[in-house]
Structure 1
Amino acid sequence: MFAYYFQLGLRSLRRNPMLTALMIMAIGFGVAASMTTYAVFRATSNNPIPQKSSQLFAVQIANWKPSDLDKGEPPNALSYTDANNLSRAHKALRETALYPVAPSVIPADASKLPFNANAYAAYGDVFAMFDIPFLYGSGWSHNQDEARGAVVVISKALNDKLFGGINSIGREVNLDGHNYRVTGVMDSWNPQPLFFDPVNTQGFGDPVDLFMPFTRAVDLQIGTAGNNNCNAPAGNGWDGWLRSECIWIAYWAELPTAADVDTYRSFLNGYAAEQQRAGRFSWAPNVKLRNVTEWLDFQHVVPPESKISLLVSLGFLLICLVNTVGLLLAKFMRRAPEIGVRRALGASRGTVYAQFLIEAGAVGLAGGLLGLLLTALGVFGVGLVFDKQIARLATVDLSLVALTVLVAIAATVLAAFYPTWRAAQVQPAWQLKSN
């Protein structure tokens, strides 16, 4: 019966091509607007590491006086003093301090010009913590962290650029005139949003080209390529900056269980209280632990314009559906004589519901196909509205295709319920008498 009713629906659509075209356009444009903005919202609100997002925690410690804080929240980065102390205590399963650096990569081929790399200084735990995949080799060891080893892990793209894609483990990379031995080559890895450093990237940016040891970067006095915020003048020179209360280091801890979280939070409170007793802090301990999703939300990574655009587009879809309700009502009620005859011949109201809802589904399917085309055009043009780094994340994949068609059909069938109910209330006797 479904195939029969579907065939009747297609015949009915051909009877009133203008009315049918209006309904298909209303559904297509409404669905396309909502799906285009949803593609952007989905990309920006994506969970970048779902398998561990509840186990990785950003650490915050208030090393500034309360009057220097924003709404009482600890700063969104740590000072070198705090990051170094936490690293030495090593109370988490894994933990890492990290900050962005921008070293110049000097190719071995003298005919090629040096170029800046998108890099981070971090501890060796970073690779296991962030589930970074490897094409060749692995990260460096804790001993190399302690020894300030001249080692580096590079990306697949950088390996292709420097070594032609071969296994480069043991080869050397020249960064700012210093040679580093390659211990690993990352496979394709570009989590979006960039959960580990939204402070400096606003959550979106290019893939990481390389990681180098945090201790090595500090030993060579490599400054941060990101934010550096101070609530008072720093001391003279590099050592003065390290001893200052300037904040510039992100700190992450891996805490697999709720008990681990509670234990680590207690440790942070104890550490802050110890700093208070030592005279460094003159205020009560103020520390925070936020997992990946909480951290991204706290940093407002999802652009407000994407949320607003999504709400506006859903409102537009609703308006389109209201118009579709009116068009379907006009279409169905014009067939009252046909409905009366069918009811007089024994058709039940359920049969009328089935026929007309399937017919509405056919309209939704056609509107969905139009919506797919318009969605593809919309995704292609989102760069005109959103930042380029965000716009490139919005893509048309199989899930978006399926969702677009499903939303179009479901929305049209939902809009058809009232017109169908009105059609099913037609009294056969009245129609037979008047016709």
Structure 2
Amino acid sequence: MEQFLYYLKVSWISIKRAPLPYALTIFILSLGLGVFFANATFYYQLNSDPLPHKSDKLFFPMTLMVPYECADCPPPRVLSYANVQKLSQSDIPTAKVGMYSADGYLRLDTKQAPTPVSIRMTQPDFFRMFEVPLLHGSIWADDKARLELILAKQTAEKMFGHSDVVGEKILLDDRHFTVVAVLDDWQMLPRLYDANNRAHLSEADQVYMPLETGYDFNYMSNRQSQTFDDTDYRQLATQGRTGALNQLQFWVQLDTEAQQQAYRQFMSNLVADEQKAGRHPSAPNNQLVPMRNIVSYFGGESADIKAFALVTLLFLGVCLFNASHLSLNRYISNQYEFSLRRALGASRGQLQQQMLADVLLMATFCCAGGLLIAWGGVSLLNFLWPANSLFGRWDLTLLLLLLVLTFTMSYLVTLYPSLRASFGGLNQQLKE
């Protein structure tokens, strides 16, 4: 340790001897790292897996069960209530859930100004499948309609001033509901369970209502709905349950390969039976899309983030080249000092340890500068693309990545100069 501290001291003296070239090297490398890290932050978060231990077990089934004939047509992105009920008949999945989102207004009483909220009409398995944490109360016991709501923690605190509000009454669109549970802080990012129309970039919903209740009160989807017949969307409670009004998303949990194969066969048999009954004349086109592929399947990947990530990677390469050139010039100016140390008996290994001390100092300064520039870059991107602002955040993995990248870039910057100083001809170096 004492020897390493000596190497750090020597490096610091070398920096003070020529501070401007060293500062310029640090600035160029920090700029490249900061810009790259700012864009890598969004790319990493947008492409992260929110349930890495489970995403390969969650699937989005889709079928071309529509009342018209179509060749080579993709299945609708959303399903009708009747088709969701048919897909739910199987006991093969470990869990299954139909859902959609709608808009509403929440308030404590008629005297209070209404607060706009996003409502998720869903079923009890939703909270288990997507590992939604519960803070107070309990989830509905079954799929039946009931005048009960589940609130997000922030919504409960905003409306009541505290989170423990189980049993309290609240008005949703002028209908009285009872709060039966409050969720803990939860924000699945990206929100892959709702990837249609790039909704995976949105925040979690504030209110959760039983699916059957949503249909009873004629709540329409705020994402996407399609009608393939003369179903009146204003009569969800009746026609919406029987007609070809598509607005539901449906997920199943299939834990094993055997379950997945069995459910695919179930879907094939279901479509065959429907065709025999004359309800769906189109050729079968069943899809069982895994959760980790749902964004790409719906075409919701951000091309802008990919393009910026590539451009900033090239920019980092340019910065690395220029920083290496400046570093080489600095080492050439100090070449006599290294040569003299070699002449006095310093081994090449000891010279490399001196270089590692230089790398450590450079990495420390570059890390501080890179983080500062990256923070500014993330703030700028949040301003330019507000829809992606949820993903402008850092976690421990990203910070460790920056540290490793900074140390690696700092080492590459000093690699050639250190090799030239350690392995060049001693006599020639002393003459120079």
Same-fold status (TM-score > 0.5): yes
> Match for residue 19 of structure 1?
21
Aligned length: 426
**Equivalent-residue separation in structure 1 for 2:429 and 2:176 (angstroms):** 91
> Match for residue 37 of structure 1?
39
Q: In the alignment, residue 112 of structure 2 is paired with which amino acid?
A: K
Shift of 1:233: 4.5
**Equivalent-residue separation in structure 1 for 2:299 and 2:22 (angstroms):** 43
CA contact under 8 A between 1:9 and 1:359: conserved in structure 2? yes
CA contact under 8 A between 1:97 and 1:251: conserved in structure 2? yes
> Match for residue 48 of structure 1?
50
**Equivalent-residue separation in structure 2 for 1:311 and 1:190 (angstroms):** 28
Matches within 5 A, 1:227-246: 227-230=224-227, 232-236=228-232, 238=235, 239-246=238-245
* Partner SS, residue 63 of structure 1: coil
> Match for residue 401 of structure 2?
403
> Match for residue 140 of structure 1?
140
CA contact under 8 A between 1:61 and 1:288: conserved in structure 2? yes
- Deviations 1:204-230, CA, capped at 9 Å, x for gaps: 223311111111221222222221134
> Match for residue 208 of structure 1?
205
Shift of 1:242: 4.3
Choose from 147, 150, 160 the match for 1:150: 147
> Match for residue 95 of structure 1?
96
CA contact under 8 A between 2:359 and 2:411: conserved in structure 1? yes
Shift of 1:46: 2.2
- Seen in structure 2, the aligned counterparts of structure 1 residues 8 and 171 have a Cα distance that, compared at 3 Å, is same
**Equivalent-residue separation in structure 1 for 2:156 and 2:93 (angstroms):** 32
- Deviations 1:6-47, CA, capped at 9 Å, x for gaps: 222121111111110110011110110011111111222222
> Match for residue 83 of structure 2?
82
* Partner SS, residue 117 of structure 1: strand
Shift of 1:414: 1.8
CA RMSD of aligned residues (A): 2.3
Choose from 175, 178, 183 the match for 1:181: 178
Shift of 1:154: 1.5
> Match for residue 113 of structure 1?
113
Shift of 1:193: 1.3
**Equivalent-residue separation in structure 2 for 1:83 and 1:426 (angstroms):** 74
Shift of 1:66: 7.3
* Partner SS, residue 235 of structure 1: coil
**Equivalent-residue separation in structure 2 for 1:159 and 1:429 (angstroms):** 78
CA contact under 8 A between 1:194 and 1:201: conserved in structure 2? no
> Match for residue 342 of structure 2?
343
Matches within 5 A, 1:324-335: 324-335=323-334
Structure 1, unpaired ranges of 5+: none
* Partner SS, residue 202 of structure 1: helix
**Equivalent-residue separation in structure 2 for 1:126 and 1:354 (angstroms):** 56
* Partner SS, residue 32 of structure 1: helix
CA contact under 8 A between 2:71 and 2:283: conserved in structure 1? no
CA contact under 8 A between 2:153 and 2:163: conserved in structure 1? no
**Equivalent-residue separation in structure 1 for 2:11 and 2:230 (angstroms):** 76
> Match for residue 422 of structure 1?
420
> Is the deviation greater in 99-108 or in 15-24?
99-108
**Equivalent-residue separation in structure 2 for 1:351 and 1:120 (angstroms):** 64
Q: In the alignment, residue 423 of structure 1 is paired with which amino acid?
A: A
**Equivalent-residue separation in structure 1 for 2:429 and 2:133 (angstroms):** 71
**Equivalent-residue separation in structure 2 for 1:68 and 1:223 (angstroms):** 29
> Match for residue 264 of structure 1?
263
Shift of 1:345: 2.2
Q: In the alignment, residue 115 of structure 1 is paired with which amino acid?
A: T
* Partner SS, residue 247 of structure 1: strand
Shift of 1:268: 1.1
**Equivalent-residue separation in structure 2 for 1:392 and 1:190 (angstroms):** 10
Shift of 1:246: 3.8
CA contact under 8 A between 1:98 and 1:120: conserved in structure 2? yes
> Match for residue 391 of structure 1?
389
CA contact under 8 A between 2:100 and 2:122: conserved in structure 1? yes
**Equivalent-residue separation in structure 2 for 1:305 and 1:46 (angstroms):** 17
Structure 2, unpaired ranges of 5+: none
CA contact under 8 A between 2:117 and 2:207: conserved in structure 1? yes
Matches within 5 A, 1:272-421: 272-386=271-385, 388-421=386-419
Question: What's the TM-score once normalised by structure 2's chain length?
Answer: 0.91
Q: In the alignment, residue 235 of structure 1 is paired with which amino acid?
A: T
Question: What's the TM-score once normalised by structure 1's chain length?
Answer: 0.90
> Match for residue 126 of structure 1?
126
Shift of 1:190: 1.7
- Seen in structure 2, the aligned counterparts of structure 1 residues 100 and 114 have a Cα distance that, compared at 3 Å, is same
Q: In the alignment, residue 421 of structure 2 is paired with which amino acid?
A: A
CA contact under 8 A between 1:31 and 1:408: conserved in structure 2? yes
- Seen in structure 2, the aligned counterparts of structure 1 residues 123 and 90 have a Cα distance that, compared at 3 Å, is farther
CA contact under 8 A between 1:361 and 1:410: conserved in structure 2? no
Shift of 1:383: 2.0
Shift of 1:252: 0.6
Q: In the alignment, residue 219 of structure 2 is paired with which amino acid?
A: I
- Deviations 1:26-80, CA, capped at 9 Å, x for gaps: 11101100111111112222222234222221111122467476xx532222122
Shift of 1:300: 4.0
CA contact under 8 A between 1:27 and 1:368: conserved in structure 2? no
